[in-house]
Amino acid sequence: MADPRGEKTALDVAVAAARQQELAEQPRQLALFDAAPGSTESGSPAAEPGATVASRGPGRPPGARNRRTDEAARIYMSEFGDPLRRGIAISALPILAPDVLEGLARRLACSKIEAAKWWAGIYAATMPYVHTRLAMLEVKPAGSLGGEPVPFAFSEAGEIIEIAPAEPHDS
């Protein structure tokens, strides 16, 4: 047990040393795609004479991707296609055009309202991957506490145009 003053007792040091020794004696767990020890698979460290496997401790290194997840995603996408691409194609449907919503409802075998909700859900799910969130803009109108006129306008492309600040008013 640690001393209330933050110092370790001899028992704490001995327990920590025994735990480190126990971890060092455990066999190294193979990753999903590593070859088994003693196998003759080419390219594996065990197949090369005199090669040793470096032990780096449990877990992935910081910033490393999970190979099993990446491999599963690659297999899934090669067989069924990219779900983001499909979601964007669905969200790009001109839902307000004549007969589009009715056709979608027939295809999904549901009502038009349910089809519109389904489309809106996919639209909302794909938007963060297509457009980043816009910064928050707080405008306090003149006359409110801490409020003053904010000089800005939007261009045809929807970007904010800087306008020179208004001259202070003399009352």
When divided into structural domains, the chain yields a total of: 1
The answer to whether residue 113 is domain-embedded is: yes
The answer to whether residue 41 is domain-embedded is: no
The answer to whether residue 26 is domain-embedded is: no
Tokens 């004479």 found at: 49
pTM, 2 dp:
0.41
Task: Give me the domain span that covers residue 109.
Answer: 82-130
* pLDDT tens by residue, 48-91: 555 555 566 677 778 888 888 889 888 988 888 888 899 999 98
The residues, ordered by sequence, that sit 6+ positions from 10 with a Cβ below 8 Å of its Cβ are none
Q: How confident is the model at residue 12 (pLDDT cuts 50, 70, 90)?
A: confident
The answer to whether residue 91 is domain-embedded is: yes
Q: How confident is the model at residue 44 (pLDDT cuts 50, 70, 90)?
A: very low
The answer to whether residue 69 is domain-embedded is: no
Structure tokens at 50: 């005199």
The answer to whether residue 149 is domain-embedded is: no
